[in-house]
Amino acid sequence: MSYRIVGETGEWEVVVGLEVHAQVTSESKLFSGASTEFGGEPNSHVSLVDAAMPGMLPVINEHCIEQAVRTGLGLKAKVNLYSVFARKNYFYADLPQGYQISQFEFPIIGAGTVILDMPDGTTRNIGIERLHLEQDAGKSMHDQDPRRTFVDLNRSGVALMEIVSDPDMRSPEEAGIYVRKIRSIVRYLGTCDGNMEQGSMRADVNVSVRKPGDTELRTRCEIKNVNSVRFIMHAIEVEAQRQVEVWESGGQVEQQTRLFDPVKGETRAMRSKEFAHDYRYFPDPDLLPVKFNQEYVDGIAATLPELPDEKKQRYMADYNLSAYDAEVLVVDRETGGYFETVLGRGDKGKTRDAKLAANWVISNLFGALKAESKTITQSPVSADQLGQLLDLISDNTISGKIAKTVFEEMIATGKEPADIVAEKGLKQITDTGAIEAAVDDVIANSPEQVAQYQGGNEKIAGWFVGQVMKATQGKANPGMVNKLLKEKLSG
């Protein structure tokens, strides 16, 4: 099921490539010792280098180099042992140097691959063209004063990784999955916190359209600085639609930089190609080329954590989970860790039932966390406690249904599951005599239904189970109830 825009002349295919800017997790900036902390007073995290005072020289932050290499390895990309910082020249009030230090011809990371997990269980490979390091600019503040614009340089010089994809995506959905996957990978690696609300990740979105089956790309437009997954998807949708209308009305899509307005749900031209910047890139004479050897790269590779793709494969192979379940559980390290602790030390050192554990985490726990707007690290129920609850189900102390009641209480109070079961008298009735008495009672009081059952209406069996469960406040072991009812009704 390909995504298609249907116009007056038939169907159109959408072609998307993304440039994701990801802020490097680092205490200090790319070329200065100033803090990168979010939310400081304006201009409180600015060194003389960041303010571009005359005579100041940039000094490369080695940690940022390491983070870029880690990210490259996580993207299964080629790490270049030789790379060069270049000046990208343009004038803007929030760029005091008059140029951005970036990488151009020789980026630190070359081609790689990101695997998208599609909702139907299939996967799609998206090519990564390159990843380069560059500085962020400052921020113009237009809303502080009616007449003047102020500049905050706190972000000036913060290290960014620009991750450039190939034009491999074919729908807004794929672009959304791609950005989420990049975010998941950098979070696993600890190289970017992925907080789009705080601007630590944002994307420039390249969109063009063409007729299905065409091999040539048509002119693209670039939508700048989109800062949420939802907006990225929405921007692609409306921009592709706009381009289809331009082509179909006999016009030409112009190569442009555009802005997405999420309120109006439209993109607007910022500047056209004839006004495009001529950046006059050249190697920054203040910085030497970055050179390291393969041992350095191998050393970083040795410290890489298990990444979501590998973890997903392991969950599917070792625990027999579906692609969907595995994928949901590997979304971040914390969720994977929680799930593995739930699986962990079961009865007599055995691991607990993986499918049961996955269901409880995905349906019950995620549901409860969502209702309380909490993340998994803020869960009122610890992984150990959830594991204990599963043990109570497995050893028939409580039924799966009663377990849901116990779980709600655990969410509300944080109490241990065994204590809740004891306090509320929820222990399952497994005493055959007690269940038999309840079954006999129901049968004796329901001659009409018994006649129906014996007349061949087997559907009414469920009604009997319901009556017995009601009589035992839901505490009778359902398996035993079923067995006894069957024996007695047909006997």
Q: Which residues bind Mn ion (CB under 5 A)?
A: 162
Q: What is the smallest separation between the CB atom of 69 and Mn ion, expressed in angstroms? A: 19
CA atoms within 13 A on the CB side of 12: 24
Residue closer to Mn ion by CB (options 162, 166) is 162
- In terms of Cβ atoms closer than 10 Å to its own Cβ (0-12, 13-18, 19+), residue 121 is exposed
User: Contact at 8 Å (CB) between 435 and 471?
Assistant: no
Q: What is the smallest separation between the CB atom of 129 and Mn ion, expressed in angstroms? A: 13
Q: What is the smallest separation between the CB atom of 352 and Mn ion, expressed in angstroms? A: 47
Instruction: Select the residue whose beta carbon is closest to Mn ion and give its number.
Output: 162
Q: What is the smallest separation between the CB atom of 330 and Mn ion, expressed in angstroms? A: 29
Residue closer to Mn ion by CB (options 203, 392) is 203
User: Contact at 8 Å (CB) between 165 and 127?
Assistant: yes
Residue closer to Mn ion by CB (options 94, 162) is 162
Q: How far is CA 458 from the centre of its chain?
A: 47
Q: What is the smallest separation between the CB atom of 338 and Mn ion, expressed in angstroms? A: 36
Between β-strands 112-117 and 123-135, what pairing exists: parallel, antiparallel or unpaired? antiparallel
Length of the chain as a residue count: 491
Residue closer to Mn ion by CB (options 160, 392) is 160
User: Contact at 8 Å (CB) between 71 and 191?
Assistant: yes
Q: What SS3 state is found at 45? A: coil
Phi-psi sector, 199: left (phi>0), alpha (psi -120 to 50), beta:
left
CA angle 151/153/158 to nearest 5° reads: 145
Residue closer to Mn ion by CB (options 162, 222) is 162
Residue closer to Mn ion by CB (options 160, 383) is 160
Q: What is the smallest separation between the CB atom of 159 and Mn ion, expressed in angstroms? A: 12
Residue closer to Mn ion by CB (options 202, 352) is 202
The DSSP code sequence of 15-34 is EEEEEEEEE---SB-SSS--
Q: What is the smallest separation between the CB atom of 366 and Mn ion, expressed in angstroms? A: 35
Place of tokens 């790379």: 83
